[in-house]
Homo-oligomer: A and B are copies of this chain.
């Protein structure tokens, strides 16, 4: 590191001034950004707003041993934008609260903000407010995102009906296997700090874990082809858990065909190397931040050839349960195995 400035030499106000200089505002609804007691927004007429909050805690959600701060900043924004996508909304603003231990330098915090700035640019979001404070422990990042959606057009979890097609964007299991790679290399490094971590072999799964993208692209594409999901959720805890959420909220069951689950080749290779069942990685892995949604059967023609959307099954009556249908046609009840943070 060439420059290392202790945080206490610039103080909270100094840090805010340094960060403020790097911020560009893009959204017409942003009237006043950082610098007052609150930001001022002018909501777009005829639109609803959506709001959600996510907290990332060092030692629970990330490990700075192998997670570059710039990626972490990007991911912290992306996971919040993913919640906006899951409502069929366009993200507009975020506010960021950080608590930072004294071991961090000003440059480290700026690196984190640089990642957030890149994500704000990628998703066309304004960073309009924040709170930066010390911490007796590690780093905690709390982001609240706002988004807008035409009045009444937000998509909830509870709108699916029997026969609706169950769809997923992108591919699954990559983020989980990226985490397995990082944990193996960390253990090897802890056992022998001279070891060079073998991370270059796994670019795909590591990117899935360290720098996931929110699927705003698919939200825009669905609008273009005129398909409105009947229910939607983003995949943060694992596909099985999210399918159960949709079914519970919609009062339906579902059939998910294991043969249809999308996995990328690099993910499959890492699963084999780690001797892990790829289906289990996809069902319970989590953190892929893909979208899981349902569409009316009539939309089949419109989405069946979409390169980023896979039809993995369909909704059924509640009484039929929520099942994974194996290759041999056997139904196996889906169970949520998302991890417990406590």
Asked if B342 contacts A134 (CB within 8 A), the reply is: yes
Answer whether residue A8 sits at the interface, using C-beta atoms and an 8 A cutoff. Answer: yes
Contact of A53 among B7, B12, B41, B95 (CB under 8 A): B95
Asked if A12 contacts B131 (CB within 8 A), the reply is: no
Answer whether residue A60 sits at the interface, using C-beta atoms and an 8 A cutoff. Answer: yes
- How many copies altogether? 2
User: CB-nearest residue of chain B relative to A51?
Assistant: B39
Q: Which of A92-135 contact B (CB under 8 A)?
A: 93, 95-100, 102, 128-131, 133-135
Asked if A137 contacts B136 (CB within 8 A), the reply is: yes
Answer whether residue A201 sits at the interface, using C-beta atoms and an 8 A cutoff. Answer: no
Q: Which of A11-50 contact B (CB under 8 A)?
A: 11-12, 31-32, 35-43, 45, 48-50
**Chain B residues near A49 (CB-CB < 8 A):** 40-43, 49
User: CB-nearest residue of chain B relative to A102?
Assistant: B342
**A39 vs B147: C-alpha distance in the bound complex, in angstroms?**
10
User: CB-nearest residue of chain B relative to A151?
Assistant: B42
**A131 vs B137: C-alpha distance in the bound complex, in angstroms?**
20
Interface residues of chain A: helix, strand, loop or mixed (majority): strand
Asked if A55 contacts B129 (CB within 8 A), the reply is: no
**Chain B residues near A96 (CB-CB < 8 A):** 53
For the complex with contacts A38-B50, A38-B147, A42-B151, 15 further pairs of A-B residues with Cβ separation under 8 Å are A7-B342, A38-B52, A38-B89, A40-B48, A41-B49, A41-B50, A42-B49, A43-B43, A49-B49, A57-B99, A57-B135, A59-B137, A60-B134, A136-B138, A140-B142
